[in-house]
A and B are shown apart, each in its own frame.
Chain A
Amino acid sequence: MQTLKRNILAVPILVWLGLFVGIPLVFVFVLSFLSRDSLGTIVFQFTWENWQRVFDPIYLRVFRNSLLLAFLTGLVTIVVGYPVAYITSNLEPKKRALSIGLIMLPFWISSLLRTYGWMILLGNAGIINNVLRALGIIDKPLPMMYKFGTTLVGTAYMLIPFAIVAIFNSVDKLDRSLLEASYDLGANKRQTFFNITLPLTLPGIAGGFTLVFIPALGLFYVSDLLGGGNTIFLGNMINTQVTRGRNRPLAAAFSIAMIAVVLLVISIYGRIAKDDAEGLFL
C-alpha cells in the first residue's frame, strides 16, 4: 500500500506505455505466428513458417548485414565522437554551450532531407566529383554511392550526436583531480588517457555505443537512399515485407527477432555500466 502511494505518479506513464507499447507488442508477437493469404490478408491460423524463414540462411545474412552495420556505426561514432566530446567538456562554459548547440543543430532538419544532402555531395554528378573533375584530379567520377560504406557514413552521421552526448556526460563527470594525480605520479598525457580517462569514461562509451547501435539496427531510409538497396538490412527487409511483400506476419517475426537482439545489447550494456549510478536505461 505504501509503495503504491509512493509510485502513484508513475501510473499515467505506465497506462500510456501499456496501451501504446505493451499491447501492440503483444499483437506483433501473436502476428508472427499467423498466416496470410495471397492478397496479404491475415488468416488466423497458427504456423511456424515465419520463424522458420527468420532462421533461413538467406535471411540470416540480413541479420549479419544489419549487425555489422550497427556495430561499425557504433565504432565509427565512438572513435569520431570521443575527441569531440572530450574537447567540448574542456571548453569554457560559453563555448561549450555553443559546441553542444552545434552538435544538436542537425536535429532541427528532417533526417530525410539530410540524407538527400549526402546524395548531392557523394553522387556521380555530386559536389565532390564535380570539384575533383574541375580541378583535373580525376577523369571519371569516383563511384561513391550505393555501397555498404555509403550507408555506413550516412548512418554514422545521423546517429553521432547520441554518441557525443553520452560520452560528454561521462567525461564531464570525470574528476579532474584524478588526472592531476596521474601526472603528479609521473604519467604522461598518453598514459593518463589510457590508464585513467578511458577506463573511467567506459560507461559513457558503452552508453553511446548502445544508443547508436539500436537505431542503426533498424534504420531503413538511409540504406534505401544511400545504399540503393544493394545490401539488404533488417529495416529494409521489414519495410519491404509490410509494404510491397504484403507479408505482415513475416515482418512481425523479424521485428520480434530484432527486439531480441536489442534486448541482448542492452543487457550487455547493463553489465558494463552496472557500477555507474546514472545508467541510460535503469
Chain B
Amino acid sequence: MKQPLLSLVNINKYFGDFHVLKDISFDIEQGEFLTLLGPSGCGKTTLLRCIAGLESIHSGDILLNGSSIKDMAPNKRNVNTVFQNYALFPHLNVYDNIAYGPRVKKSMTEAELKERAANVLELVQMLGYEKRMPHQLSGGQRQRIAIARALINEPAILLLDEPLGALDLKLRKHMQTELAQLQKKTGTTFVYVTHDQEEALNMSDRIVVIDQGEVQQLGSPRDIYNNPVNLFVTTFIGDRNMMRVRVLETEATHSLVQFGENVVSIRNSGQHQLEVGREAVLAVHMDKMRVSCHEQPNALVGEVLSVHYSGSQIRIRVKVADRQITVVEYQKIDCECEKGDQVYVTWEDHGAILLPPEDGWAEGEV
C-alpha cells in the first residue's frame, strides 16, 4: 500500500481541563486538497497548529512520510502556514516578506531567490508588487503574498487557516476558484481550515468534518453532502428540512415512514439500522424538493404559508403536519401557488436521508 504523506495517529490535546482534540486519526494523501470543516471552537484550527508545530500534542503521533515530527520545532518541519490574518511582516516589503523563509534557512543564493520569488509572485499574479509594503495592499493582495511567502519554501504541506475569512463575499468566491487552481497547478498538498461548508464543498478533494474535537465524517464533498453519517453532519452540511417520522416498514432499498397523515417511501442510505415502530429523522435537501398543485405520488400534503422570490430562486414555506418546511426551487414551478393553497411536496430520491434519532436532538425549524 502507498504510504500516506501525513498520518495523524490518535491525537489528544487538552487546554487545561478542556479536551480539545479527542483521539483524532486520519491520513492525508500526497497532492490532495483536504479541508477541515467544523463550527468555531470545534478544534480544527488547533489541529492545524499541531501539524504546524505551533501547539504540542498530549498523546498520539504525527508522521510525515512515515517519520514522527511531533517533537520537532515548527522551524524544522517541512510545512508552512498561511495565517488567518496573513501575518505579513509589516516592516518588510513584499519581496523581503517572500524572501524571509529562504533567507533565514539560507536555502538559496540571492540569485536563485530572485528567480524563485518571481515564480511564486507570478503564480499568485502579484508580479510588480515587490517594493510595496503590506499596509499598501488590499486584503486579497495580502492573501496572495502570504500564500507566495509560504509556497517559495516548497513545503510538503501548505496549511491554510481560514484564509478567506476576512475577505468580502465576491472576492471570497473568486479566491476559492483561484486557490483550487493554484493547488492543482503546484501539486502541493493543501490542508485547509474553514467553517464555511460552501467553501469546503467547492474546493476540496476530501473533507474532514470535525465537531467537539472529534472527527465526525471523512469523505469526498459529494459523499458528505449526500450521505451524512450522523445528525451533526446532516444539520451542518447543506440546508435540509429535518422531520421527526415513525418507521412503518423497512425493505431492501426503501423504508416506509409516517409524517403526520403522510406515508412516504424513503431510500435507505445503508449506513443506519432503523427499527420498525421507532422514531427516525427524515432529512431532505431544501433545493431537492418540488412543489406541485396537482396530486403526486410519494408526496407530503401541505398548505402554502408564503412564497418569496429572490433572484433566480423561489423559497416556498409549506406547513405539513404542523411543521414548517422550506422548499427552494430554481426552475419555474409547475404552478403559480399562493398563500393558503394546498400543495404536494415531492423530492428527488437521493436528496432524502433517514437517520436514527440521537439524544438531545430537537426538531427545529431550519
Q: Chain B contact residues (Cβ within 8 angstroms of A): what range?
A: 20 to 34
Nearest chain A CB to B75 CB, angstrom units? 5
Within 8 A of A (CB), among B59-103: 73-75, 80-81, 83, 85, 87-91, 100-101
Return chain A residues, CB-CB under 8 Å to B149: 185
Interface residues of A in 179-218 (CB under 8 A from B): 180-188, 191, 195-196, 199-200
Task: Flag B128-152 by CB within 8 Å of A: 1 or 0 each.
Answer: 0000000000000000000001100
In angstroms, Cα B85 to Cα A217, docked, is 44
Most buried by A among B54, B75, B153: B75
- 1/0 contact trace for A155-185 toward B, CB 8 Å? 0000000000000000000010110111111
Contact with A185, one of B54, B91, B104 (Cβ below 8 angstroms): B104
Q: Which residue of A lies closest to B54 (CB)?
A: A180
**8 A Cβ contacts from B94-120 to A:** 100-101, 104-105, 107
CB contact under 8 A between A196 and B89, given known A180-B83, A183-B74, A184-B74 = yes
Closest to B76 in A: A186
Q: Return chain B residues, CB-CB under 8 Å to A175.
A: 85, 87
Please classify the interface of chain A as helix (H, G, I), strand (E, B), loop, or mixed, using the class held by over half of its residues.
helix
Complex contact A177–B85 (CB within 8 A): yes
Given contacts A196-B89, A200-B90, contact A183 B83 (CB under 8 A): no
Task: Return A194 CB to nearest CB of chain B, in Å.
Answer: 10
| A186:B153 contact, CB within 8 angstroms | yes
Q: Which residues of A contact B53 (CB under 8 A)?
A: 183-184
Min CB distance A232 to B, Å, is: 42
A188-B75 CB under 8 A given contacts A177-B85, A199-B91 = yes
Which residue from chain A places its CB closest to the CB of B104 in the assembled complex?
A: A187
Give the chain A neighbours of B88 by CB distance below 8 A: 181
B100–A182 touching, CB < 8 Å:
yes
Using Cβ atoms and an 8 Å threshold, which residues of chain A touch B153?
185-186
The residue that B75 contacts in the complex, of A184, A199, A200, with Cβ under 8 A, is A184
How many Å from the CB of B137 to the closest CB on chain A? 16
Residues of A within 8 A of B83 (CB): 177, 180-181
Q: How far is the CB of B91 from chain A (nearest CB, A)?
A: 5
Q: Which residues of B contact A177 (CB under 8 A)?
A: 83, 85, 87
* B52 contacts A by Cβ under 8 Å: yes
Contact (A186, B81) CB under 8 Å given A180-B87, A191-B104, A195-B104:
no
CB-nearest residue of chain B to A186:
B105
Residues of A within 8 A of B87 (CB): 175, 177-178, 180-181
The answer to whether B100 and A183 have CB atoms under 8 Å apart is no
> Which residues of A lie under 8 Å from residue B75 when comparing CB positions?
183-188
Q: How far, in angstroms, from A182 to B153 measured CA to CA in the complex?
A: 13
In the complex, which residues 247-273 of chain B have their Cβ closer than 8 Å to any Cβ of chain A? none
In the complex formed, the residue of B with least CB distance to A181 is B87
Distance in angstroms between the alpha carbons of A183 and B105 in the assembled complex: 11
B313 CB, min distance to chain A CBs, angstroms: 39
Counting contact residues on chain A (CB < 8 A from B), the size range is: 10 to 19
Min distance, Cβ B330 to any Cβ of chain A, angstroms? 42
The answer to whether A187 and B100 touch across the interface, beta carbons within 8 angstroms, is yes
A183-B54 in contact (CB<8A): yes
In the assembled complex, the CB of A190 is this many whole angstroms from the nearest CB of chain B, namely 10
User: Given the complex of chains A and B, what is the CA–CA distance between A200 and B91 in angstroms?
Assistant: 7
Cα A178 to Cα B92 with chains together (Å)? 12
Closest CB-CB distance, A21 to chain B, in whole Å? 36
In this complex, which of A183, A185, A188, A191 has the most chain B Cβ atoms within 10 angstroms of its Cβ? A185
B74 contacts A195, C-beta separation under 8 Å: no
A184 and B104 contacting across the interface, CB-CB below 8 Å: no
Shortest distance in angstroms between A208's beta carbon and chain B's nearest beta carbon?
19
Contact across chains for B80 and A184 when beta carbons are under 8 A apart:
yes
What's the nearest-Cβ distance from chain A to residue B62, in Å? 15
Q: How distant is the Cα of A113 from the Cα of B176 in the complex, in angstroms?
A: 67
CB closest chain-B residue, reference A191: B104
Are B85 and A185 in contact (CB-based, < 8 A)? Answer: no
User: Could you say which of A177, A181, A199, A200 has the most chain B C-beta atoms within 10 Å of its C-beta?
Assistant: A181
| Distance in angstroms between the alpha carbons of A187 and B105 in the assembled complex | 7
A124 CB to nearest B CB, Å: 50
- Chain A residue nearest to B102 (CB atoms) is A186
The distance in angstroms between the C-alpha atoms of A196 and B105, with both chains bound, is 15
In angstroms, how far is the closest chain B Cβ from the Cβ of A218? 34
B53, B54, B88: residue with the most chain A Cβ atoms closer than 10 Å: B54
Give complex CA distance A89, B107 in Å: 33
Chain B residue, CB-CB nearest to A187: B104
Cα–Cα distance between A187 and B89 once the two chains are bound (Å): 13
Report which of B54, B85, B101 forms a contact with A186, defined as CB distance below 8 A: B101
> In the complex the two chains form, what is the Cα distance from A175 to B84 in whole Å?
13
Most chain A CB within a 10 A radius of its CB, from B73, B101, B104: B104
Of A184, A196, A199, the contact of B54 (CB 8 Å cutoff): A184
Query: What is the bound-complex CA distance between A187 and B92, given in angstroms?
Result: 15
CB < 8 Å neighbour of A183 from B73, B90, B107: B73
Contacts of A184 in B (CB 8 A): 52-54, 74-75, 80-81
B73 touches A195 (CB 8 A): no
Separation of A200 and B153 alpha carbons in the complex (Å) = 24
Which 3 A-B residue pairs are closest in the complex by CB-CB distance?
A185-B101, A181-B87, A187-B104
11 example contacts (A-B, Cβ-Cβ < 8 A) are as follows A180-B81, A180-B83, A180-B87, A181-B87, A183-B53, A184-B53, A184-B75, A185-B104, A186-B105, A186-B153, A188-B104
Footprint of A on B, CB under 8 Å? 52-54, 73-75, 80-81, 83, 85, 87-91, 100-101, 104-105, 107, 149-150, 153
Q: A180-B74, A183-B54, A186-B107 are in contact. List 14 more A-B contacts (CB 8 A).
A: A177-B85, A177-B87, A178-B89, A178-B90, A180-B81, A181-B81, A184-B74, A184-B75, A184-B80, A184-B81, A185-B80, A186-B75, A187-B75, A200-B90
Chain A residues in the interface with B (C-beta under 8 A) = 175, 177-178, 180-188, 191, 195-196, 199-200
